[in-house]
């Protein structure tokens, strides 16, 4: 029996044929791909096979059944694609395997159905000029000209525009009026950022899973998230492990692994495993809600250029009206009738229409803020969006911005007749009781290798020098070169290696046992992998890049050389960074990038303050003008470059997503 059998299959849309006399037979075990340009009928064939469409003529069988309930148990349709808003609104994963898993659970969902001219629809119904143009423009023309093809067709048919009388009933409310065009959607995905927030959550109540509206989730509630589902609120993982797609918040497509103790955010998508989480932030406190609020606040503010446009419009509009009035008066004085004069006056108004002047700037700001949010960049005000594009100098904090902010073991140099394992074991035994960041770096490294610490006694901290302890009969010491060199005889070659590591900005730690040198372990706050490339991009844009740090000169210069900055300013205390930025502002507009509480004052003082939002402090994000939602410095060039680019208004806003009339309602009848 064939999986799929088509005989003289034909499907038309109006006067156009999507499929004409298709003969097709697919045997079990074959892998078949449908290839063809847009409009060739690929999707139509798939929908016919699943009973989503009815053929105009011919036959189609699926495993011996006519497309219907019986056939869908064997072969089904997985909606997907980057532009399938309806699938996205139902939280159907774009990963076919995850979408199939969701379908196999056979969990039905309630869905509102709209009625348009006595025909039912579940996603969108549209009417008017846009709809007509979308169906009348030939596919080969669209393939060549893209969205410009719609514009050409619209201009050609301007003289045929006419209003449509529409009456819309929804939830007891009635809308009645005349419209040139419009779209009615049964999906929240058109609403931009707000589409990301799931509408329901599965919480554990008395040990039973209960689906509740997301508004009813309270802090401390335990909720579960299965593969393919969106996380409803911010929380902490209690059980399970998974890869979570956080692109909605950070713009980063690579999934992030989550384990017990890790945090998860609302609107991110669980991709692989089962998660049980405790709600930590709900409602308006979630990360998503804060992002939406920031974007809304930015859209509500006026950039300096927008204020200029408003002032010009305030003069231009009255002037144009006055000219139109003078034009009418002149023609009347010349003896023309009122209709003739009125037509000339209206022509002046149409030709000089100031609408673009007043609308272009705020629309560009809105689009820029929205695109930034989708890429993990939050411009808190419209002024920040404009000012970022004028930056001439970028000042970078070192720790947590250029570097990871977390010291790591970089080199292990054992002494003669000592193995790396022996050196690392002695260091682990000695450092296990220390709370110093350098000690924690050694502990993390050893634990990653599966090593365990032995019990020690007589543990002593020597401030500014190092540590001592006893492990059985062995007396262990560890610390700086000066401290250990004064207690044991250290080979000159090993000391030179330690000095070389120090020149590279690393901290060499020496360890000994029973007054015998075991070796050197170097620890450093390593540079983020993406930092050098990000700095190269900034310099390639003609910007001067300066690194500010409180570290010593030698370490700072070593890090600066690795990162590729133009200038290093070391030994700067937190309260001194502000004065440094003030001096830099004498040479141009300065963007300061930081992440810590100590960076908040200088972020506020800079022309543009940029906070690293991934691990950044709340104080830094509050003081900043721009927030990078990840800890990746690679987003910074995009934040500075984006305001300089012309926003794709025609493509992204006017023709893809919005029309002058949109009604977004839950349940409605047209």
Q: Which residues carry out catalysis?
A: 397
What distance in Å separates the CA atoms of residue 180 and residue 75, rounded to the nearest whole number?
Answer: 42
Strand ranges in 357-419 using DSSP code E only, listed in sequence order: 377-379, 393-397, 408-414
CB 132 within 8 A of CB 169: no
**Closest Cα partner for 60 from 80, 75, 38?**
75
Distance CA 249, CA 267 (A): 8
Q: Are strands 57-62 and 4-13 parallel, antiparallel or unpaired?
A: antiparallel
> What's the rounded Cα separation, in Å, for the pair 626 and 591?
10
* Three-class DSSP labels, 568-612: EECCCCHHHHHHHHHHHHHHCCEEEEECCHHHHHHHHHCCEEEEE
Q: Give every CB contact of residue 11 below 8 A, 6+ residues apart in sequence.
A: 17, 18, 19, 41, 44, 48, 53, 55, 56
Please calculate the CA angle 412-417-419 and round it to the nearest 5 degrees: 40
CA 462, 467, 471, 476 dihedral sign is negative
Instruction: Report the distance separating Cα 411 and Cα 523, nearest Å.
Output: 7
Contact at 8 Å (CB) between 509 and 522?
Answer: yes
515-526 burial, b at 16+ Cβ within 10 Å, e below that, comes to eebbbbbbbbbb
Q: Can you tell me the distance from the alpha carbon of 184 to that of 197, in angstroms, rounded to the nearest whole number? A: 20
């Amino acid at each position: 029996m064939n999986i799929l059998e088509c005989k003289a299959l034909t499907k038309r849309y109006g006067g156009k044929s999507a499929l004409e006399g298709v003969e097709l037979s697919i045997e079990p075990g074959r892998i078949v791909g449908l290839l063809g340009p847009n409009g060739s009928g690929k999707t139509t064939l798939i929908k016919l096979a699943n009973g989503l469409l009815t053929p105009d003529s011919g036959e189609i069988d699926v495993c011996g059944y006519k497309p219907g309930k019986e056939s869908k148990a064997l072969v089904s349709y997985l909606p997907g694609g980057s532009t399938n808003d309806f699938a996205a609104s139902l939280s159907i994963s774009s990963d076919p395997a995850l979408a199939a898993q969701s379908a196999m659970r056979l969990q039905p969902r309630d869905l509102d159905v709209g009625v348009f001219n006595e025909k039912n629809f579940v996603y969108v119904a549209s009417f008017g000029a846009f709809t007509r143009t979308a169906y009348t423009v030939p596919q080969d023309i669209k393939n060549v000209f893209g969205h410009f093809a719609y514009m050409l067709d619209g201009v050609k048919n301007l003289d045929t525009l006419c209003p449509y009388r529409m009456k819309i009933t929804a939830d007891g409310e009635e809308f009645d009026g005349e419209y040139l065009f419009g779209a009615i959607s049964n999906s929240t995905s058109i609403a931009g950022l707000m589409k990301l927030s799931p509408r329901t959550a599965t919480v554990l109540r008395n040990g039973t899973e209960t689906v509740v509206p997301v508004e009813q989730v309270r802090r401390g509630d335990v909720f579960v998230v299965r593969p393919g589902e969106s996380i409803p609120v911010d929380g902490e993982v209690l059980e399970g492990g998974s890869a979570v797609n956080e692109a909605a918040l950070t713009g980063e497509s690579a999934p992030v692994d989550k384990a017990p103790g890790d945090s998860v955010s609302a609107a991110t998508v669980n991709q692989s495993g089962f998660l049980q989480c405790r709600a930590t932030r709900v409602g308006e406190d979630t990360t998503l809600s804060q992002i939406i609020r920031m974007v809304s606040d930015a859209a509500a503010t006026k950039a300096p250029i927008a204020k200029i446009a408003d002032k010009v419009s305030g003069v231009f509009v009255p002037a144009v009206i006055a000219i139109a009035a003078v034009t009418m008066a002149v023609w009347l004085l010349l003896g023309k009738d009122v209709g003739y004069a009125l037509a000339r006056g209206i022509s002046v108004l149409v030709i000089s229409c100031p609408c673009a002047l007043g609308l272009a700037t705020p629309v560009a700001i809105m689009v820029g803020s929205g695109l930034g949010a989708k890429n993990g960049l939050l411009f808190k005000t419209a002024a920040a969006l404009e000012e970022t594009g004028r930056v001439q100098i970028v000042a970078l904090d070192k720790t947590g911005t250029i570097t990871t902010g977390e010291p790591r073991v970089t080199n292990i140099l054992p002494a003669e007749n000592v193995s790396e394992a022996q050196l690392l074991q002695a260091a682990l035994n000695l450092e296990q009781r220390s709370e110093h960041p350098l000690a924690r770096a050694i502990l993390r490294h050893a634990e990653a290798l599966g090593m365990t610490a032995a019990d020690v006694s007589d543990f002593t901290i020597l401030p500014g020098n190092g540590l001592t302890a006893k492990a059985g009969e062995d007396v262990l010491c560890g610390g700086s070169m000066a401290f250990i060199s004064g207690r044991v005889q250290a080979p000159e070659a090993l000391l030179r290696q330690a000095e070389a590591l120090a020149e590279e900005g690393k901290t060499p730690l020496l360890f000994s046992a029973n007054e015998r040198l075991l070796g050197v372990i170097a620890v450093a706050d390593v540079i983020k992998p993406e930092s050098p490339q990000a700095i190269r991009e900034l310099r390639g844009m003609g910007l001067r890049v300066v690194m500010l740090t409180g570290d010593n000169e030698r370490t700072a210069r070593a890090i600066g050389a690795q990162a590729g900055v133009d200038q290093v300013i070391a030994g700067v205390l937190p309260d001194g960074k502000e004065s440094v930025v003030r001096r830099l502002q004498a040479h141009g507009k300065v963007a300061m990038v930081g992440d810590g509480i100590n960076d908040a004052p200088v972020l506020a003082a800079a022309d543009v303050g940029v906070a690293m939002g991934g691990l950044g402090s709340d104080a830094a994000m509050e003081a900043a003008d721009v927030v990078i939602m990840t800890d990746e410095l690679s987003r910074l060039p995009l934040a500075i470059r984006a305001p300089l680019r012309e926003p794709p208004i025609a493509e992204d806003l006017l023709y893809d997503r919005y029309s002058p009339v949109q009604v977004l309602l839950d349940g409605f009848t047209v």
